[in-house]
Amino acid sequence: MAVDNILLKISSVRKNFNEVIALDNVSFDIKSGEVVGLVGSNGAGKTTLLRLMSGVYRPSSGSVTLGDDTPVHLMRDHLGVVPESTGLYSRLTAWENIRYHSRLYGIDDSVSWKRTLKFAQSLDMEENLSRYTKGFSRGMRQKTALLRALAHGPKVLLLDEPTAGLDITSARTVRSLVEQIKLEGGTVVYSTHQLFEAQQVCDRIIIIHNGNVMADGSPEQLINDNGCETLEEAYVMLTQAKARVRFEDSISDKGLTKIWNKLFRPKTPNLQLNQDVMEDE
């Protein structure tokens, strides 16, 4: 694939939290049309890396750039992000949550509605778009967050443990949506600690352990390069060092919510969220 197909570039990234080195000299590229899995145990650094890739965090050193070497925090409209916590407004309907997010990016309601309806059909969410999210199951909240992330037409979709806590059917539906995006030429970064899931949906897998990239390649490459018979064997061989404690858990949800709101929910004029929720509903 040509160099000009690189959408996201992580170059010699280091991230410190006081004395803790969360990521150390991490480098790789994400190319257009790829589904790339970030695989590692809790505490490996996956969530920190995704927050850097989405512009929520800034690297202590190194760079994370999108497009023509522009820092990623200046081009957030090119990203669709589904964090571990969906952050939905419970007093709004699913569609109102999606519409509000799209308006922040300057997307016309008719455009975001068309995209929402397309992916809602894939997620079996059409009949739930006019329902308030307060009573949603975890699976329905996750699907709404996915629709919200896709409605403005991002170039790169960043997913942090998108099937964690979901029932089998919902998890399978989410994986099928990723496959659909892949077939349509979309680019996805898929963070998970489930090897079987990564092998199912990803063209390429980056194994992260204790803040370092241990391997980067297709599932077949990782198996063959390490002289193993399965991806699980290759993973165990590459991550023999004891996994550290998940340091992200020491950062309060309240603090992260403030950061998220500051970066992804800028002050906007009153958007009249509860009025005229599309005639189709």
The continuous run of DSSP H or E covering 236 comes out as helix 231-238
Using the predicted structure, report yes or no on whether residue 251 has a pLDDT greater than 90: no
Instruction: Tell me the pLDDT of the chain averaged across its residues.
Output: 86
Using the predicted structure, report yes or no on whether residue 253 has a pLDDT greater than 80: no
The token pair that represents 217 in the structure block: 């390649």
Highest mean pLDDT among 77-86, 107-116, 164-173: 107-116
Question: Which pLDDT score is estimated for 278?
Answer: 41
pLDDT band at 269 (very low <50, low <70, confident <90, very high): very low
Question: Mind listing the pLDDT tens digit for each residue in 151-176?
Answer: 999 999 999 999 988 889 989 999 99
CB-based contact 83:260 (threshold 8 Å): yes
Q: Give the whole-angstrom CA distance, residue 239 versus residue 207.
A: 9
Question: Which pLDDT score is estimated for 256?
Answer: 54
Question: Which pLDDT score is estimated for 267?
Answer: 47
Question: Which pLDDT score is estimated for 273?
Answer: 45
Question: Which pLDDT score is estimated for 29?
Answer: 95
Question: Mind listing the pLDDT tens digit for each residue in 176-226?
Answer: 999 999 999 999 999 998 898 999 999 999 999 999 999 999 999 999 999
Q: Give the whole-angstrom CA distance, residue 141 versus residue 5.
A: 33
Nearest alpha-carbon partner for 144 in 182, 188, 100, 107: 100
Q: Which residue has the higher pLDDT, 209 or 262?
A: 209
Residue percentage of the chain with pLDDT more than 70: 84
**DSSP-assigned letter for residue 136:** -
Nearest alpha-carbon partner for 26 in 16, 36, 40, 12: 12
- The angle that helices 168-183 and 138-150 make with each other, rounded to 10 degrees, is 10
Question: Which pLDDT score is estimated for 280?
Answer: 38
What DSSP line would sit under 84-105, residue for residue? SS----TTSBHHHHHHHHHHHT
Question: Which pLDDT score is estimated for 262?
Answer: 55
Using the predicted structure, report yes or no on whether residue 264 has a pLDDT greater than 60: no
Using the predicted structure, report yes or no on whether residue 272 has a pLDDT greater than 80: no
- What the chain holds in terms of domains, given with CATH numbers, is 3-79+157-264 (3.40.50.300), 90-153 (no CATH)
Question: Which pLDDT score is estimated for 257?
Answer: 55
Question: Mind listing the pLDDT tens digit for each residue in 48-61?
Answer: 999 999 999 999 99
- Per-residue pLDDT, averaged over 106-133, amounts to 94
Question: Which pLDDT score is estimated for 214?
Answer: 95
